[in-house]
């Protein structure tokens, strides 16, 4: 009897801890530079992105750089986000991966920043509808914006730093840190993932100069994330949750190389 009661109490405590620590490490997060195309019928979305976010083992949140044009089957919800003073709108879409009888909905948050070639747009695909949507202005006149979604007290953002070494990468991290270090946002945990176009070691050195090396953590895989070599795709995290599991970054090799010159990168909680 005592053993049964003890087991029951342990179960309650573990359930409480699991609920209390609902945070970034509870989500399966991925980032991928899609090397996007301008046609809405492009199979990169309809085949490759679909595969990455489908099923219970799929990503809960997928950050997409060079997102191209989203699939024709994506339906606008009418939710249009354009923060005051930031002239970059985000549109929300639903994308049904199932059938009309058995829907399996994902939400797409899409920024049409490339109005010309329509290739280097940004997108976030989420299993849950965002509570909030964020747009941070570009850090230089040549840079791209930082876009993100909020789920409870967790914020997931994506970025695509400039080519030729990611000269704006450290400024992107600084801008994100400053935004979420304000009084009204300081309680949020945030995770910034994308194509930094800069080796993680170089970015970490830059963050020492920015005096952010003790404030943020860089999460990068050990294997190259670009087909030609080099680790360019990874994440930066500030986790303010009281209970948290460490994350590890792993290259995902399930996507055919012909789909992009970048590999997807997954961020998963490490087993205790």
Quick one: average pLDDT of 55-64? 96
Q: For residue 40, what pLDDT is reported? A: 65
Report pLDDT for 272: 58
Write down all domains in the chain, each with its CATH number in brackets: 21-269 (3.60.10.10)
| Short-list 217, 171, 205, CA closest to 24 | 217
Q: What burial class does residue 73 get, using C-beta atoms within 10 Å of its C-beta: 0-12 exposed, 13-18 middle, 19+ buried?
A: middle
At how many degrees (to 10) do helices 200-209 and 169-179 cross? 60
* Residue-averaged pLDDT of the chain: 89
Q: Would you say residue 14 has pLDDT above 60? A: no
pLDDT tens digit sequence for 135-170: 999 999 999 999 999 999 999 999 999 999 999 999
The tens digit of pLDDT for each residue in 26-54 reads 999 999 999 986 666 677 999 999 999 99
């Amino acid at each position: 009897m005592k053993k049964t009661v003890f087991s029951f109490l342990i179960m309650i405590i573990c359930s409480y801890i699991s609920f209390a620590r609902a945070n970034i490490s509870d989500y399966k997060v991925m980032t991928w530079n899609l090397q996007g195309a301008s046609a809405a019928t492009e199979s990169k979305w309809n085949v490759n992105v679909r595969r990455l976010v489908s099923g219970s083992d799929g990503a809960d949140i997928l950050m997409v750089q060079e997102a191209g044009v989203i699939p024709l089957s994506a339906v606008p919800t009418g939710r249009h986000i354009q923060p005051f003073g930031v002239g970059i709108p985000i549109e929300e879409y639903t994308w049904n991966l199932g059938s009309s009888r058995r829907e399996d909905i994902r939400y797409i948050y899409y920024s049409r920043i490339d109005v010309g070639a329509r290739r280097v747009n940004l997108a976030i695909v989420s299993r849950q509808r965002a509570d909030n949507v964020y747009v941070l202005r570009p850090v230089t006149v040549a840079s791209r914006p930082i876009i993100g979604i909020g789920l409870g007290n967790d914020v997931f953002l994506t970025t695509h730093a400039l080519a030729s070494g990611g000269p704006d990468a450290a400024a992107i991290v600084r801008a994100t840190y400053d935004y979420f270090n304000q009084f009204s946002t300081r309680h949020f945990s945030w995770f910034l993932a994308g194509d930094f176009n800069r080796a993680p070691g170089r970015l970490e050195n830059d963050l020492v100069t920015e005096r952010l090396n003790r404030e943020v953590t860089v999460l990068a895989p050990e294997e190259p994330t670009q087909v030609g070599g080099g680790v360019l795709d990874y994440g930066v995290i500030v986790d303010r949750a009281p209970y948290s599991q460490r994350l590890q970054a792993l290259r995902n090799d399930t996507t055919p190389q012909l789909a992009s010159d970048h590999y997807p990168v997954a961020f998963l909680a490490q087993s205790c």
